[in-house]
Every structure is written in structure tokens, then in C-alpha cells.
Amino acid sequence: MNLELKDMPGQLVLALQPISEFGGNIVSVLHQRDKKTPRGLIPVQITFEMDGKKLERLINRMKSNGITIAQIGEDRLREKATMILIGHIIHSDIRDTIDRIDSTGYAEVKDLAVSMPGVAQHSAARIVINAAGKKEMQNAIQLLRDIAREKELLLIESIEEA
């Protein structure tokens, strides 16, 4: 669900609370406060799971709370890729790497597993990225290549899930 919120305290809670009230399970929230929609509102993407029979009531509740619903029901992140990063992953700021991918708006890191054998040794990380489509996945992989080159990390692409 893509929402547009007023830039005021409490708006995100007004959007999330009804999902919980109707038994929804929130999977992810992408709140882009530094960006504005053409209407001057804050774009927020919420991924959640809930009984589809309750969706109409949820929509009515959100509208009554003054929440603008821009889009509902698109399976936004359809492509998935698993890759391996090797090097000084933690020291090169893995949070920055994740934020740079997540901030694209078309891709996000869905899973990260890190193995750190020792402080002075290279770490290895399995990173799973989901993206909106094939072109967006190609762009996300290129971004990860650029980040790996910048941070002097080895990137092993397209690892098949076992």
C-alpha cells in the first residue's frame, strides 16, 4: 500500500494503527520524509499481510483518519537476487550499503547474514535484494557493484538459493 501523509507528528501512527487493529502483520515500512509527492505530502510504502476480507474496512478507517491512499495491492518487489560480499564488510559500514539500496525506492535488502571469523580477517555476507522488476534489479545490482568497488569488497553475484 502506498500512502501520502501530512508532514505532522503522529501521521505515521494514524496509518499503521488500523492495520494492527484489523489483525494485519506489518512486514515493512518505507517512510521517505526527505521526499515529497506532487501534492506536497510524504510518501510511505507499507507492506503487510492481512485477511483480504478486512481490506475494505481498513481502507475506510484510513480515509476517515485523513490518510491519502495512493495505491493498493501491487506486488511491488517481484524480483529476488542473492549475492555474496567478501571483505571488511562491517568496517566499511554495512548500514550505509543497506541504506543506499533501500533508498532507491525500487529495491531493498530483504535479508543479510554475516560471518565474521576474526577482527583482522575478511568477513562474508549473504545479501538478498528484492526489486520491482528485472530492470530495477539490474540497477540495484549495478549499485551494489559500485558500492563494492568503492569499499574494496568482492561481490559474487547471482547465488542460487539452496
Arithmetic mean of pLDDT over the chain: 87
pLDDT at 64 over 80: yes
Residue 90 lies in a domain: yes
Which cell numbers in the block locate residue 82? 542473492
Highest mean pLDDT among 51-55, 59-63, 77-81: 59-63
Give the residue, 56 or 151, on which the prediction is more confident.
Answer: 151
- Considering its fold, how many domains does the chain have in total? 2
Residue 84, exposed/middle/buried by CB under 10 A (0-12, 13-18, 19+)?
middle
Q: If you average pLDDT over residues 124-153, what whole number do you get?
A: 93
Q: What is the pLDDT of residue 126?
A: 94
Tell me if 162 is assigned to some domain.
Answer: no
Percent above pLDDT 70 for the chain: 94
Out of 71, 91, 107, a domain closes at 71
pLDDT of 77:
61
75 pLDDT band, cuts 50/70/90, is: low
The domain that holds 12 is classified in CATH as 3.30.70.260
Whether the model clears a pTM of 0.95, i.e. scores above it, the answer is no
Decide if 161 is inside a domain: no
In a domain, 26, yes or no: yes
pLDDT at 51: 82
Query: Using CA atoms, how far apart are residues 97 and 129, in angstroms rounded to an integer?
Result: 12
Span 72-95, average pLDDT? 84
Q: Is the pLDDT of residue 2 over 90?
A: no
134 inside domain: yes
Specify whether 62 is located in the same domain as 23. Answer: yes
| 57 and 103 part of one domain | no
CA distances from 140 to 8, 79, 146 (A): 32, 11, 10
DSSP 151: T
Q: Give the tens place of pLDDT for each residue, 103-135.
A: 888 888 989 999 988 878 899 999 999 887 888
- Give the structural domain span for 88: 79-156
